[in-house]
Chain A
Amino acid sequence: MNSRDPIQTDLLIIGAGPAGLFAVFEAGLLKMRCHLIDYLPQPGGQLTEIYPKKPIYDIPGLPSVLAGDLVHNLMEQIAPFEPGFTLGERAETIEKQEDGRFMITTDKGTQHLAPAIAIAGGLGVFEPRKPPISNIAEFEDNGVYYIVKDPADFANKKVVIAGGGDSALDWAIYLAEHGSEITMVHRRTEFRGAPDSVEKVEHLATTGQIKLITNAQVIGLTGNGKLETVTISANDDQEVIVPTDVFLPLFGLSPKLGPIAGWGLELDKNAIVVNTLDYSTNVAGIYAIGDINTYPGKLKLILCGFHEATLMVQSAFQLAFPGKKLSFKYTTVTGIEGIHPAS
């Protein structure tokens, strides 16, 4: 297959959290092939990204299950149906084709073709949290970076890191040890990251390899097209201007609805309005399941997402296999018969 050919599937699922993963199982029972897109680099959505070690108590039949284990089990459950994954990419645009299918293109240009789309986007796309500095957008990719793609870019440069969590600590250590001149700015005096990392940063601060400014935050940026200085305000309201090449605000991720907001779907308070008959949206062929949808009586529960996924695929089946009759079967009767992606 030419790498530029679109990925073709029966049901394209946007969001690889629990609802999206379980949709693969239910679709698989109906012999529908599935492909999932997720902006995170691994499946599981917020369960894997935010609270893998938290126990969940309301999954029927499982008195207690760690979020990470639930995802692991779901992956095992859907393995026979060999779903495809496009991970680390954000579904950006949607276009209806002449043959009735939808073409979904990601931010990296990967194209996907499917007759039915299920949006299982949860809270939305997890994007880096941007500090409220009015002109920060001016310097994005010109000195301001929210994620470190290639640390070699910062070697022998002056780098200001803001944030007190693990990623701020880890990058401060790594970059300090690889020749960057690091200033670390943190809102408090103590750090809450892994004890090892905290100790190491404190050690590097005493040896002068990291300049530590605590009880402080970055409040301003200056430069001419390219970042030149950051203004740091300490809690006693003293302002210091620090010349720098790079500013890395590392404040974790926060979910946003993202590009889906512009797809012409009916929204209510950042959620997609659906018909509870089959969880269809106002656009024929596009469904929404799990935390991202809304309807009277909606509860944002994983178990409700599972139910929604199950009913949704019955309707999506008609789009994948027009004219075919659907006969409902229990897994206790038929077992699980895997499907293989069409060659």
Chain B
Amino acid sequence: MKDIIQITLYDRQGEVHHLEAPTDMSLNLMELCKACDLPVKGTCGGMALCSTCHLYIESDHELPEASHEEEDMMDQAFFVKENSRLGCQIKITERLDGLVVRLAPEDEEF
């Protein structure tokens, strides 16, 4: 079993970050971004109640389906696309090795 997986993240300026994520700390993508000092606010603390960890999944990894809470939040978020997810709802597991994600624009910029 892999203890560390690789995740590629593009920030809002398009710059690439190669992240190493431990799979044994029950982290989610939002927490990983915060731990790596990426500009992800995670205002609500991971309850799918804000959309500050909104990101796009750009690789074809199969992810667990979004919960009702996540879908509800997505209805209130902006810049939502087919591949939109909330980072806080995606657990870091071995199956995500090689995942490619891109941060969605922030609401507050407007």
Q: B7-15, B22-30, B71-79: which lies at the A interface?
A: B71-79
Q: B45-53, B57-65, B92-100: which lies at the A interface?
A: B45-53
Say whether, besides A129-B107, A130-B110, A134-B110, A251 and B45 are in contact (CB < 8 Å).
Answer: no
B49 to chain A, nearest CB (A): 5
In the assembly, what is the distance between CA of A186 and CA of B44, in Å? 24
Partner among A136, A186, A192 whose Cβ is within 8 Å of the Cβ of B72: A192
Say whether, besides A165-B75, A188-B75, A192-B68, A300 and B49 are in contact (CB < 8 Å).
Answer: no
B107–A163 CB distance below 8 A: no
In the assembly, what is the distance between CA of A165 and CA of B108, in Å? 21
Judge if B80 is at the interface, Cβ distance under 8 Å.
yes
Judge if B83 is at the interface, Cβ distance under 8 Å.
no
**Chain A residues with CB below 8 A from B43, complex form:** 123, 254-255
**Chain A residues with CB below 8 A from B105, complex form:** 132
Judge if A305 is at the interface, Cβ distance under 8 Å.
no
Interface centre among B45, B78, B108 (most CB of A within 10 A): B78
Judge if A252 is at the interface, Cβ distance under 8 Å.
yes
A132–B107 CB distance below 8 A: yes
In the assembly, what is the distance between CA of A189 and CA of B107, in Å? 23
Considering only CB atoms and an 8 Å cut-off, how many residues of chain A contact the other chain? 26
A53 to chain B, nearest CB (A): 12
A132–B76 CB distance below 8 A: no
In the assembly, what is the distance between CA of A181 and CA of B71, in Å? 29
Considering only CB atoms and an 8 Å cut-off, how many residues of chain B contact the other chain? 22
A51–B47 CB distance below 8 A: yes
Judge if A131 is at the interface, Cβ distance under 8 Å.
yes
**Chain B residues with CB below 8 A from A188, complex form:** 75
Interface centre among B71, B72, B76, B109 (most CB of A within 10 A): B76
B78–A131 CB distance below 8 A: yes
B78–A132 CB distance below 8 A: yes
**Chain A residues with CB below 8 A from B77, complex form:** 251
**Chain A residues with CB below 8 A from B72, complex form:** 165, 192
Partner among B68, B76, B109 whose Cβ is within 8 Å of the Cβ of A252: B76
A11 to chain B, nearest CB (A): 27
Judge if A50 is at the interface, Cβ distance under 8 Å.
yes
In the assembly, what is the distance between CA of A91 and CA of B76, in Å? 26
- In this complex, what residue of B is CB-closest to A131? B78
Judge if A307 is at the interface, Cβ distance under 8 Å.
no
A132–B75 CB distance below 8 A: no
A129–B49 CB distance below 8 A: no
Partner among A51, A123, A251 whose Cβ is within 8 Å of the Cβ of B76: A251
**Chain B residues with CB below 8 A from A163, complex form:** 75-76
Judge if A164 is at the interface, Cβ distance under 8 Å.
yes
Which 5 pairs from chain A and chain B are nearest by CB?
Answer: A132-B110, A252-B76, A164-B75, A251-B76, A132-B78
Interchain Cβ contacts under 8 Å between A and B, 18 examples: A46-B49, A50-B44, A51-B49, A54-B47, A123-B43, A123-B44, A131-B110, A132-B107, A134-B110, A165-B72, A187-B75, A187-B80, A192-B72, A254-B107, A255-B50, A256-B108, A270-B41, A300-B45
Given contacts A132-B107, A251-B78, could you give 6 more A-B pairs where the C-beta distance is less than 8 Å?
A51-B49, A134-B110, A165-B75, A187-B75, A192-B71, A192-B75
